[in-house]
Structure 1
Amino acid sequence: MSVSSEPSPAIILCEPQLGENIGMVARAMANFGLGDLRLVNPRDGWPSEKARAAASRADHVIDAVTLYETTAEAVADLSFVYATTARPRDSFKPVRGPKEANATLRARIGAGESCGILFGRERFGLSNEEVGLADEIVTFPVDPAFASLNIAQAVLLMSYEWRSGLLGEAAGPRFTAPPAPQAKKEDLQSFFAHLESSLEAAGYFYPPEKREVLAQNLRTMLTKAAFSEPELRSLRGVIRSFDHAAAKARSSDGA
């Protein structure tokens, strides 16, 4: 059996503990035509015979698994990412239900973007830093008195909504204006580093003990802008111009 050739979102499991859970995730993905499974630092290592057994012949998903040391590396080539969580977060990121989230994913992937969905650990889910890597949050309409979902259950719900939306979608328009590709996460993180370095030199982060909060607020605000690749290149050019002007001014003062 081969992986479905239809473009679909990547499923990223952050530090999964049990091979059986990974296998059940692979099975859920195969049920609904998803094939890109990414594992971030699985506790018991990889490959896993327990995962393969639990996958119930979804070997094409298991064989195509890719491994990453960090969540940032796992999403680096993606342009749009959802983080799944059952807990309210101290974040201004938009929060969607699974149906709305998958509609967004279908539109973006249909436009040629690379997208993914982050799922957290069995014990405590995603860290705030990992949620910070995502563009938006997706949560499920579960009973608040018992909101905990197994990883495979969460993946199954998102995979089902993905597939059912594809099958039930009406035909789109004959043509649309080609959208500019959204900037990849690695380019966005590089932009943040450049911006923060320039702001540091300009004395923006004051007082020093508030630097981390100020930097995180900037990152949250700029992530929501969903910059395209050309927009990000333009912004990098603007910052370089400011850097050049500031260096020239310092040189003149020194003279």
Structure 2
Amino acid sequence: MPSEGKQPLFVLVRPQMGENIGAAARAMWNFGLDRMRVVGPRDGWPNEKAVVMASGAGRLLDEAQVSDTLAEALEDTTYVFATTARIRGLTKPVMSPERAMALAAEKLAAGEKVAVLFGPERAGLENEDVARANALITVPVNPDFPSLNLAQCVLLTAYEWRRAQGEISHERMEIARGGDPATGGDIEAWATHLEERLDERGFFFPPEKAANMKTNLRNLWSRMPLTRADVQMLHGALRQLIRGKDN
């Protein structure tokens, strides 16, 4: 299914290996991007190795726009980012992928057409390519080893695009099958059951501290993300412990 809404074009400039084109397509589709342009692929087009590597993202390759020159690929765009690890004497804004994709979202929402350039595997974009960009994207990598694989760079940028859409959940609770959250009634029944059994065994001593001890226990259960299955297991474990003690 095609992705909905406005999104940046990802332009692969003179990619050298079909496998990397396919991996880039797969990385794009991982994050809901499906608008690829390919400029002057070294091994021609279509490329069977790209199709194999793309796996379930082969549709991106079928629909990719292929051109001989970068000028042709950018003819209808209004704002262009170039990904590069090297700043080679050109005065341009330099942004992190996070900031660049946030800006891309703003420009797309305003009706502009945004492209992101990714250079060939061996040496990246040439100065002539970078000169066509409005801004640069540079990843804060190890300065002693700044080179990123083409698909890695695409993946990282696509991830930041997804983040810019507010579609990243930074934390969540994975609920196992049958693991519905325990209700207040479930917790109350468990707390009462435990307190009764502990009271029988003389746990709440001395008497003047009993109320505070029970409050601390209740607070313990309220801090725990218990499921109904958890509570049932606790009931069963307590019954078994008491049964064993009585025997």
Q: Which residue of 2 aligns with 1:55?
A: 54
Listed one character per residue, the Cα deviations across residues 185-229 of structure 1 (whole Å, up to 9, x for unaligned) are: xxxxxxxxxxxxxxxxxxxxxxxxxxxxxxxxxxxxxxxxxxxxx
- Normalised to the residue count of structure 1, the TM-score between the two structures is 0.64
Matches within 5 A, 1:1-255: 2-167=1-166
| SS of 1:141 mapped into structure 2 | coil
CA drift at 1:60? 1.9
Letter of the 1:51 partner, please give it: A
State which structure, 1 or 2, has the greater radius of gyration over its C-alpha atoms.
Answer: 2
Which runs of 5 or more residues in structure 2 are unaligned? 169-247
| SS of 1:167 mapped into structure 2 | coil
Counterpart CA distance in 2 for 1:6 and 1:23 is: 23
Counterpart CA distance in 2 for 1:31 and 1:164 is: 13
Native 8 Å contact 1:9 1:114 kept in 2: yes
Counterpart CA distance in 2 for 1:61 and 1:47 is: 12
Letter of the 2:50 partner, please give it: A
Letter of the 1:162 partner, please give it: W
Counterpart CA distance in 2 for 1:32 and 1:133 is: 26
Listed one character per residue, the Cα deviations across residues 114-163 of structure 1 (whole Å, up to 9, x for unaligned) are: 00000111111111111000000110010101101000000000000001
CA drift at 1:89? 1.7
Worse-superposed segment, 55-64 or 94-103: 55-64
Counterpart CA distance in 1 for 2:48 and 2:145 is: 32
Listed one character per residue, the Cα deviations across residues 13-46 of structure 1 (whole Å, up to 9, x for unaligned) are: 1110100000000000000011111111101111
Native 8 Å contact 1:3 1:61 kept in 2: no
| SS of 2:102 mapped into structure 1 | helix
| Matched residue count | 168
Q: Quick one: percent identity of the two aligned structures?
A: 49
| SS of 1:118 mapped into structure 2 | strand
- Normalised to the residue count of structure 2, the TM-score between the two structures is 0.66
CA drift at 1:168? 5.0
CA drift at 1:56? 1.4
